[in-house]
Amino acid sequence: MSEVGIEKMGFATTGLYLDMEDLARRRGVDPDKYTIGIGQKEQSVAPSSQDAVSLAAAAAKDALQGESLEGLDMVLLGTESAVDASRAAAVYVKELLGLPDEIRCVEVKQACYGATAALFWALDYVSRRKDRKVLVIGSDVARYGLNTAGEVTQGAGAVAMLISSNPKILSIEGDSVFMTVEAADFWRPPYTNCALVNGRYSMQIYVEFFSKLWKRYRQNTGKSAKDFEAFLFHLPFAKMGFKALKEVLKDEDEETSARLSKRFETSAAYGRRVGNIYSGSLYLALLSLLEGEAMDPGSKIAFFSYGSGAEAELFSATLKEGYFSQLSPSRHLKMIEERRRVDVDEYEHLFSDFPPSSPQDYACDKKYFSGPFRLVGIKNQQRVYEADE
């Protein structure tokens, strides 16, 4: 197979965050449980004007800066924060970005695995059409509810990736192993905007899926952990990925363990502050690693994508020469640093101000408008978005 992979990446999150120590104190929990036991420092807070569409469009705009749109055939958006049961969120994104009409726009759903499914669809597509490109986006607002065990693992954001046969960042290998088993670990019935979760079970099945796939991957490829410079995980919270990494490290020598542990920390840096962004979370870990630490071209990186319900895939990629010039570490860090800290009262107010699930008009609070795109409100049962001039 010819080389295909990621040519460019973009990221977006909201303009607000909640500090996990503030949340712990209000919930009567030892802050160490959230910051050490779970491993989260902050979480991005989404006002109703920032949803899966506006965040996806912002991440795509970030990825496409300075890029030609020539050859862009598809926008594939992995999300489980759908804003419509029928229309793909990618259609709104296309319009907000002003992309030409000669394009396909589709939404892909399978919990946090959606963007990975989109990625492999895109890779297959560009491997047969050398001059074409696909924009893959993972975008979500993770909501569990006020005062729930999952609350500390909420977050909001999006990662966009331009996929082509000129992969300037990473070429993705055709060595995937994958699996699907129906599991009641985490799900969201249509009548609620918050996820339902069997927390402990979800952690157990995540590690089980990883162990099975890692074993199968080694059998298929003959590779071992020593062949990899880093392991990247879907990170609902930092400790979760570390639990899976421990499955790899238990058979490894000190040097390999130290290398993979250090790289894991770098990969978790953005996620610790942004929180779970569901579909985009694995790719946020990639961005965090590549922007946080210089690595040698040719380095092999392993990826573990997990989506509740449950489906998982393990695959690998190779870092390209000159990859760093395709990234924007200072811009992305600035996005995170410049968010405004909200206190728990303001967070609770924002969390409860969610567009109604009944047919009435709704206006988003203008006070919280931020970012290049936003939901303005709902009029005559239609979502109204706007972009900066």
Q: Which is nearer to ligand HMG, 19 or 80 (CB)?
A: 80
Cβ partners under 8 Å of residue 359, min gap 6? 381
Closer residue to ligand HMG (CB): 147 or 358: 147
Least spacing, CB of residue 223 vs ligand HMG, in Å: 24
Q: Which residue is nearest to ligand HMG (CB)?
A: 37
Q: Is position 209 an interface residue for ligand HMG (rule: CB under 6 A)?
A: no
Per the CB < 8 A criterion, the answer to whether 177 and 213 are in contact is: yes
Task: Pick out residues in 48-107 that bind ligand HMG (CB under 6 A).
Answer: 80
Residue from the set 206, 323, 351, 369 that interacts with ligand HMG by CB under 6 A = 206
CA neighbor of 210 nearest in space, from 232, 191, 228, 186: 232
Number of amino acids touching ligand HMG (CB under 6 A): 30
Number of helices (H), then strands (E), in the chain: 11, 18
Is there binding between residue 156 and ligand HMG (CB under 6 A)?
A: no
Nearer to ligand HMG, 202 or 316 (CB): 202
- What do you get for the CA distance between the two ends of the chain, in Å? 43
Residue 372 sits in the site that holds ligand HMG (CB under 6 A): no
**Does the footprint of ligand HMG cover residue 278 (CB under 6 A)?**
yes
Strands 16-19 and 170-172 come out as unpaired
Annotated active-site residue in 7, 234, 311, 332: 234
Which residue among the candidates 80, 107, 291, 311 is catalytic per the annotation? 80
- DSSP, collapsed to helix, strand or coil, labels residue 1 as coil
- Using CA atoms, how far apart are residues 182 and 222, in angstroms rounded to an integer? 29
**Strand ranges, E, within 113-207:** 133-142, 155-164, 170-172, 177-180, 186-187, 196-197
Q: Which long-range contacts (CB under 8 A, 24 or more apart) does 328-333 make?
A: 328/62, 328/291, 329/291, 329/292, 331/62, 332/11, 332/270, 332/287, 332/291, 333/291
Is residue 275 near ligand HMG by the rule CB under 6 A? no
- Based on the shown chain and the rule CB under 6 A, indicate whether residue 38 belongs to the binding site for ligand HMG: yes
Q: Measured from the CB atom, is 128 or 200 closer to ligand HMG?
A: 200
Contacts with ligand HMG, residue ranges (CB under 6 A): 30, 32-33, 36-38, 80, 111-112, 149-150, 152-153, 185-186, 197, 199-200, 202-203, 206, 234, 236-237, 240, 276, 278, 306-308
Which residues are identified as catalytic?
80, 112, 234
